[in-house]
């Protein structure tokens, strides 16, 4: 199964992304704070978020890894292993892995081994799969 995006997200209506950055010791790829406008490059308002989010995202062009389980592990690379830290993060918002997957014709599969499932459970992380069937032009 091919993937095209993977994100580690922490979300909540009142989430303060800077608090998640402090807890995890890593800057997000993207973040937003409720009611604080997100701006375009020209300074105009792109949108006003209705919730807070801290995200660490990988796109397929950023790595040569093809294994979905390894991509999930990569999202956690360099982040704390401490159960206490992840408990604190979970108190701030919902932790979720979001995976964009692409299915071409035929049967395809992927698996999460028990160690990965335990790691995700220890971090209170849900997993969201967004599966697309490729069109004839190769785009999802």
pLDDT digits (tens, 9 = 90+) for 33-71: 999 999 899 989 999 999 999 999 988 777 766 788 889
E strands, 1-140, are 2-12, 30-32, 38-39, 45-47, 52-59, 94-103, 125-133
User: How many residues belong to the chain?
Assistant: 140
For residue 3, the model assigns a pLDDT of: 66
For residue 137, the model assigns a pLDDT of: 57
- pTM of the full structure: 0.84
Q: Tell me the three state secondary structure of residue 36.
A: coil
Parse the chain into domains and list their residue ranges.
2-133
For residue 12, the model assigns a pLDDT of: 97
For residue 134, the model assigns a pLDDT of: 65
Confidence band for 19, pLDDT divided at 50, 70 and 90: very high
Average pLDDT over the chain, rounded to an integer: 88
The span from the CA of 40 to the CA of 18, in Å, is 21
Confidence band for 94, pLDDT divided at 50, 70 and 90: very high
For residue 135, the model assigns a pLDDT of: 62
Residue 114, φ and ψ in degrees, nearest 5: -65, -30
């Amino acid at each position: 199964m091919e993937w095209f995006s993977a994100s580690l997200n922490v979300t909540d209506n009142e989430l303060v992304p800077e608090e998640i950055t402090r807890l995890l010791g890593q800057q997000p790829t993207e973040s937003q704070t409720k009611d604080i406008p997100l701006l375009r490059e020209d300074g105009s308002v792109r949108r006003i978020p209705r919730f807070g989010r801290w995200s660490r995202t990988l796109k397929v062009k950023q790595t040569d890894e093809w294994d979905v389980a390894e991509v999930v592990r990569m999202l956690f690379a360099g982040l704390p292993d401490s159960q206490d830290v992840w408990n604190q993060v979970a108190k701030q918002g919902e932790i979720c892995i979001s995976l964009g997957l692409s299915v071409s014709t035929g049967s395809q599969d992927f698996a999460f081994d028990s160690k990965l499932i335990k790691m995700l459970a220890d971090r209170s992380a849900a997993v969201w799969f967004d599966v697309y069937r490729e069109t004839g032009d190769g785009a999802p």
